[in-house]
Amino acid sequence: MHDVVIVGAGPVGLFLACELGLAGCSVLVLEREPDPRSPWKADPLGMRGLSAASVEAFYRRGMLHPLLKASGVDDYPGADEPAPPRGAGHFAGMMLDPAKVDVAALPFRLPSPALEGVMTNLEAVEAVLSERAFTLGVEVRRGVTVSAIAQDDEIVVARAGEHEYAARWLVGCDGGRSAVRGLAGFDFVGTEPQLTGYLVLATIADPEKLRPGFNLTPTGMYLRTPAEGYIGMLDFDGGAFDRSQRPTREHLQAVLRHISGTDVTLSDVHLASSFTDRAMQPTTYRQGRVLLAGDAAHIHSPLGAQGLNLGLGDAMNLGWKLAATVHGYAPDGLLDTYTRERHPIGAWVLDWTRAQAAAMKPDPHAQAIQGVVRDLIGTRDGTTYVFEKVSGSSIRYDLGSEQPLVGRNAPDLRLADGTRLGDLMRDGRGVALDFSTDRRLHGPAMGWESRMQYAAGPARNDLGLGAALVRPDGVVAWAGDRDPDRESFERAAGQWFGSPEISATEF
């Protein structure tokens, strides 16, 4: 019997498997598709944008350079000094000017090798994660379709054909049409679609008739990318044409002509799929011993490119908490904080995509909204606001502290000897940082070292802190000023690490 069975070997399932494997859990991943290769994962159809927060997750686990190499990125800037990003994304097809991002206004931003997002593809992400999972002893079985789930107070069993797979916990990372979500009885609530979207790889007889980039028109939106023949379209038909129907060449050409207002001709269609802006989410991410992450926990339109990043955030948040539960040192209620922290982030992404769909609708009301939004994102404050949202730098969990850094993703604090926080987090443990030179944290010789590590010494930029406690997912659990409070530190250590008997005797 495994500690954890993960259903779904996409980026979210594999990242979660790596987190659990890093923590010493036995993990089995079940994947329906027999072959990991697919044209939908390679460029251009598999192209994805990783936010700065997602890139930082790869950096903190020592996977950033393999990811950049697999993605064909050879000019990633890194960062010795914070600088405006090279790309800032868009809102509802309205592009942001990266030069207008006010870097100084971004919260607690310090130089880091992971200050920017990365353009990659699913094939590269899965290749890097699969290799890491293999080195950590994670077992992946392909061509396995889960058809039933049963659980009691001790174990959960997934059935696939004649086989049963038992574990202490099961996590559904099996996409927007998650079998796990339905089999385990999660409710799924939200809003119905307004549009049908299409991704198409085609031979275009007269490509000069289509303008490059995002094009909002009186009848919808189309996107023509630099990749030859790759087109995205949004048709506001109420979601009438969805994945239950095969998009033919004739249908796709008719939709493109309707939206673009041209007589463009698709002479051949190589690959095509459809989607909607249906936005739904379970009320909880846990039912007994079954949990959900990634698209299994939230579906929405791809507007704003938030889906993959949202799922990777789920995996980073859940991994260490589930591992602590498996090993028996999780404090009471730790696993329940997964839903409490991640569900609001998922709900925000659903609203973010709803807002974009509403602004792109081809009617006078939406077009009036577009004018307002264009004015706002034309300002420095407006651009910075949107960038802060899409980059992940605005995320803050409510951990019950008024200290402004607590609950946020920790900046890449750097000790005087050059050691970065990111370097300290590669083994998946939390970190206790002590920037003083005249006191030390003390603990027993055995026990808490397996859950967090201690790093002491002055920092190149300590942001006015005297000490900080950083969770394994990089979130600041506690922060103290120049004269930190010993009791609050010990309370935070117990809250997040199961009373590891660490003390701050000199505070």
Q: Where residue 55 falls among pLDDT bands split at 50, 70, 90? A: very high
In percent, the amount of the chain with pLDDT more than 70 equals: 93
| Residues 11-38: tens digit of each pLDDT | 999 999 999 999 999 999 999 999 999 9
Please classify residue 270 by burial: count the beta carbons closer than 10 Å to its beta carbon, then call 0-12 exposed, 13-18 middle and 19+ buried.
Answer: exposed
The phi and psi torsions of 225 (rounded to 5 degrees) equal -95, 170
Q: Rounded to whole angstroms, how far apart are CA atoms 347 and 351?
A: 6
The pLDDT, as a whole number, for residue 109 is: 83
Q: For the segment 102-117, what is each residue's pLDDT rounded down to a tens digit?
A: 988 888 888 888 878 8
pLDDT given for residue 393 in this prediction: 84
pLDDT digits (tens, 9 = 90+) for 63-86: 999 999 999 988 776 656 556 677
Cα(137)–Cα(24) distance, integer angstroms: 9
| b/e code 156-183 from CB counts within 10 Å (16+ = b) | bbbebeeeebbbbbbbbbbbbebbbbeb
Predicted pLDDT at 82: 58
* Neighbour-count burial for 20-38, b at 16+ CB within 10 Å, e otherwise: bbbbebbbbbbbbeeebee
Set out the domains of the chain in order of their start, with CATH numbers: 2-78+122-188+280-358 (3.50.50.60), 80-112+361-395 (no CATH), 199-276 (3.30.70), 421-497 (3.40.30.120)
User: Residue 385's closest CA among 352, 417, 414, 361?
Assistant: 352
Of the pLDDT bands very low, low, confident and very high (cuts 50, 70, 90), residue 440 is low
- Please provide the DSSP assignment of 51-87 as one string: -HHHHHHHHHTT-HHHHHHHTT-------SS----S-
Confidence of residue 507 (pLDDT cuts 50, 70, 90): very low
Average pLDDT over residues 469-488: 85
pLDDT digits (tens, 9 = 90+) for 406-421: 999 999 999 988 899 9
Residue 129 pLDDT greater than 70, yes or no: yes
Cis peptide before 11 (omega within 30 of 0): no
Q: How confident is the model at residue 506 (pLDDT cuts 50, 70, 90)?
A: very low
DSSP string, 6-64: EE--SHHHHHHHHHHHHTT--EEEEES-S-S--TTTSTTTTEEEE-HHHHHHHHHTT-H
pLDDT of 139-159, one tens digit each?
999 999 999 999 999 999 999
C-alpha span between 277 and 283 (Å, rounded): 19
Alpha helices in 296-363 (DSSP H): 307-327, 336-360
C-alpha dihedral sign at 215, 220, 223, 229: negative
